C-alpha cells in the first residue's frame, strides 16, 4: 500500500523542518538548546542530535531556497517573540508549501519505489 502524504510529513518532513528551525534559532544566539526544545515541543537531546547531524538531517527536497528563506523568517519571528502557536502555524505553512510544490515526491519515491511520481497527484488537492 502506498504511504499517505501525512505519513511522509510525520516521518520525514516535520523532523527535517524542526532540525532546520532548531539550528537557525540556535545560530541567532538568543536561545539555548533547552529553550529551543521547549519551544519546538521536543527534547533537549533531540535538539542536540539535530545540531550534531545525528538526527533530522536535511533531505534533498528541503534544499529548496524558498524553504530556507521561510525557515529563516519563522526563526526571526520566534527569536523576537517565542510562541508555540507560531511554531505550529509556521510548520503547517511549510508542510503545505512542500506538498503544493511537489517537493515530497523525492522522499515518496524513496519510500514507495514503485510509485510513478509523474502520474501521482495525491498532494495536488
Residues 6+ positions from 123 with CB-CB distance below 8 Å? 5, 99, 100, 102, 104, 105
Tell whether pTM > 0.85: yes
Rounded (10°) angle between helices 14-28 and 84-100: 130
- For the segment 51-93, what is each residue's pLDDT rounded down to a tens digit? 887 666 656 668 889 999 999 999 999 999 999 999 999 999 9
Predicted local distance difference test score (pLDDT) of residue 53: 76
Q: How far apart are CA 69 and CA 113, in angstroms?
A: 30
Arithmetic mean of pLDDT, 17-40: 94
Q: Is the dihedral of CA 56, 31, 77, 90 positive or negative?
A: positive
Number of separate helices (H) and strands (E) present in the chain: 7, 0
Whether the CB-CB separation of 76 and 52 falls below 8 Å is answered with no
- Residue ranges covered by each domain of the chain: 5-112
Amino acid at each position: 500500500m502506498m504511504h499517505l502524504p501525512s505519513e511522509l510529513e510525520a516521518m520525514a518532513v516535520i523532523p527535517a523542518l524542526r532540525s532546520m528551525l532548531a539550528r537557525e534559532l540556535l545560530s541567532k544566539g538568543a536561545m539555548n538548546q533547552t529553550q529551543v526544545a521547549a519551544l519546538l515541543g521536543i527534547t533537549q537531546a533531540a535538539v542536540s542530535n539535530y545540531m550534531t547531524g545525528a538526527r533530522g538531517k536535511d533531505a534533498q527536497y528541503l534544499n529548496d531556497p524558498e524553504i530556507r528563506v521561510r525557515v529563516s523568517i519563522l526563526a526571526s519571528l520566534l527569536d523576537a517573540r517565542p510562541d508555540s502557536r507560531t511554531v505550529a502555524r509556521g510548520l503547517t505553512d511549510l508542510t503545505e508549501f512542500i506538498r503544493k510544490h511537489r517537493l515530497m515526491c523525492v522522499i515518496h519515491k524513496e519510500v514507495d519505489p514503485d510509485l510513478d511520481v509523474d502520474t501521482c497527484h495525491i498532494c495536488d488537492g
